[in-house]
């Protein structure tokens, strides 16, 4: 996923609350947790290397997660414990629950082991600075395997929805206007927000994203509906992706945590 990752700023014990959807159209220090139940399905945990047949033979470490597979995580407890680096200093906790009382998994972007062999996961967090990441110990989270993804190509003004690696939908969409462009990068689905009327500014449904507008103050990014079919294929929004209402209904069941890649 091609986007620059930035480490979360170091503030000891910082608490970061979930933020409401306010675009175009609390955290508390994590308590101690009991031993983790590793109900990881087909995920591959770090295991000891096979016994060496020779003192000169080096062990081959197994992958922490299945290769070519996208994962997200949810905390074992109420908050996601975050660290500035593997085995680093704790930074507090992130609340996975958004204002609509939905728990959105955090997208995994990298893995690493510390010197003691403990597995760590780098996750994307929905901070106001796009691309912000933090490290979490793998034994303090529950893994979610992501089987869907969304790709938006701004130059083609097209959205692809993949399910199981196969294109399920392909739509022409509206994108940000020249003065309020759609940010590029990797994000994830952070909220499902039904709308009372399909004729409002957000159309029939909203997929709130983890990212933020870079030009609109407090503007969270979203993929949302529009009742105007002429929005498709044009730069008309404040940075959001506009999908014609009949097509937006096909995206209502995209799971929270689904990765969304927006490319130039």
Q: How much of the chain exceeds pLDDT 90, in percent?
A: 71
Band of residue 76 on the pLDDT scale cut at 50, 70, 90:
very high
Q: What is the pLDDT of residues 125-182, one digit of tens each?
A: 999 899 999 999 999 999 999 999 999 999 999 999 999 999 999 999 999 999 999 9
Q: Measure the CA angle with vertex 97, ends 82 and 213; round to 5°.
A: 80
Q: What is the pLDDT of residues 166-201, one digit of tens each?
A: 999 999 999 999 999 999 999 999 999 999 999 999
Mean pLDDT score of the chain = 82
Contacts for 113-118: CB closer than 8 Å, 24+ residues apart: 113/46, 113/61, 113/64, 113/86, 114/86, 114/87, 115/87, 116/87, 117/46, 118/86, 118/87
* 3-state SS, residue 162: strand
Classify residue 255 by burial, with Cβ atoms within 10 Å: 0-12, 13-18, 19+.
Answer: middle
- Helix H or strand E encompassing 245: helix 245-248
Q: What global pTM score does this model have?
A: 0.77
Band of residue 74 on the pLDDT scale cut at 50, 70, 90:
very high
**Which residue carries 């959105």 as its tokens?**
104
Characterize the bridge pairing of strands 220-226 and 205-212: antiparallel
CA atoms lying within 13 Å on the CB side of residue 85: 3
Nearest alpha-carbon partner for 91 in 9, 174, 197, 179: 9
Q: In Å, what is the CA distance from 129 to each residue of 45, 58, 183, 223, 260?
A: 31, 42, 11, 19, 16
Nearest alpha-carbon partner for 215 in 240, 232, 191, 242: 240
- Say what the pLDDT of residue 190 is: 97
Band of residue 108 on the pLDDT scale cut at 50, 70, 90:
very high
Buried b (16+ CB within 10 A) or exposed e, 144-172: bebebbbbbebeebbbbbbeeeeeeeebb
Nearest alpha-carbon partner for 108 in 12, 188, 182, 29: 188
What are the structure tokens assigned to 162, written together? 């993949």
- Say what the pLDDT of residue 213 is: 93
Query: Residue 211: pLDDT above 60?
Result: yes
* 3-state SS, residue 250: helix
Query: Residue 10: pLDDT above 90?
Result: no
Q: Which domains does the chain have, with CATH numbers?
A: 148-263 (2.40.440.10)
């Amino acid at each position: 996923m091609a986007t620059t990752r930035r480490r979360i700023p170091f503030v000891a014990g910082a608490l970061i609350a979930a933020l409401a959807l306010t675009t175009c159209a609390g955290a508390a220090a994590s308590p101690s947790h009991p031993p983790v139940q590793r109900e990881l399905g087909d995920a591959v945990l770090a295991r000891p290397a096979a016994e060496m047949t020779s003192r000169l033979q080096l062990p081959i470490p197994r992958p922490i997660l299945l290769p070519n597979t996208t994962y997200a995580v949810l905390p074992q407890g109420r908050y996601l414990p975050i660290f500035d680096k593997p085995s680093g200093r704790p930074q507090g906790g992130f609340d996975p629950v958004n204002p609509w009382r939905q728990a959105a998994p955090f997208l995994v972007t990298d893995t690493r082991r510390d010197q003691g062999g403990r597995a760590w996961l780098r996750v994307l967090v929905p901070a106001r600075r796009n691309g912000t990441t933090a490290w979490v110990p793998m034994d303090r989270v529950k893994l979610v395997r992501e089987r869907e993804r969304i790709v938006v190509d701004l130059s083609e003004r097209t959205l692809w929805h993949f399910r199981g690696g196969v294109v399920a939908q392909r739509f022409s969409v509206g994108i940000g206007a020249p003065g309020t462009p759609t940010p590029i990068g990797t994000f994830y689905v952070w909220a499902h927000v039904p709308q009372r009327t399909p004729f409002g500014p957000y159309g029939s449904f909203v997929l709130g994203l983890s990212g933020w507008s870079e030009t609109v103050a407090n503007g969270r990014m979203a993929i949302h509906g529009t009742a105007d079919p002429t929005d498709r294929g044009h730069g008309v929004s404040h940075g959001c992706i506009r999908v014609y209402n009949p097509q937006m209904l096909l995206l209502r069941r995209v799971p929270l945590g689904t990765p969304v890649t927006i490319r130039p």
